Amino acid sequence: METSQEDSLCTEMLLVTANVGSLFEDPERLLQLWLHEFLDKVSHVQAKFLALHLQEVGGKTYEKSMEYVQEFIKALCDAPVMSDYTCVQIFMDEDFKSAEHFTALGNLYFVHQDVASLKLWNFLTHSWEEDLQVIKGKHIYSGNIETIATKEKSKFPQHFFPECKWSRKGFMRTRWEINGTVFDLVNIHLFHDASNLAACENFPSVYCKTRRRALVHTIERFHLDKQNGTVPFFLFGDFNFRCDTEGVVKELTQNLSAHRVQNIKNENDKINYRNSTGDNVLTVGKKEFSHADHQLKFKEDWLKKFDRELEPLKDVLVEYPIQFVPSYPFEEDPEMPTDYMSTRCPAWCDRILMSPLVQEIVSNDESTYGMIGEAVCMGDHKPVYLTVRLKPNKVSIFK
Contact between 208 and 242 under an 8 Å Cβ cutoff? The reply is yes
Q: What is the residue range of 145's domain?
A: 1-194+204-241+308-332+345-390
In a domain, 361, yes or no: yes
Q: Answer whether 21's CB lies under 8 Å from 106's CB.
A: no
**Whole-structure pTM over 0.85, yes or no?**
yes
In a domain, 281, yes or no: no
* Residue 302: inside a domain: no
Does some domain include residue 217?
yes
**Side chain identity at residue 398, one-letter code:** F
Within-domain flag for 267? no
CATH (domain of 66): 3.60.10.10
In 3D space, the residue among 281, 285, 272, 170 whose CA is nearest the CA of residue 221 turns out to be 170
In a domain, 261, yes or no: no
Q: How many CA atoms lie within 13 A of 74 on its CB side?
A: 6
**Cα–Cα distance, 333 to 316 (Å, whole number):** 38
The one-digit pLDDT tens for each residue of the chain (399 residues) are 445 566 678 999 999 999 999 999 999 999 999 999 999 999 999 999 999 999 999 888 777 888 899 999 999 999 999 999 999 999 999 888 887 788 999 999 999 999 999 999 999 999 999 777 778 899 999 999 999 999 999 988 777 766 555 577 899 999 999 999 999 999 999 999 989 999 999 999 999 999 999 999 999 999 999 999 999 999 999 999 999 999 999 999 999 999 998 876 666 789 999 999 999 999 999 999 999 999 999 999 999 999 999 999 999 999 999 999 999 999 999 999 999 999 999 999 999 999 999 999 999 888 999 999 999 999 999 999 999 999 999 875 455
Tell me the C-alpha distance between 322 and 308, whole Å: 13
Q: Is 360 contained in some domain?
A: yes
In eight-state DSSP terms, residue 111 is E
Q: Is residue 70 part of a domain?
A: yes
Query: What's the structural domain count of the chain?
Result: 1
By the 8 A CB rule, do 233 and 224 touch?
A: no
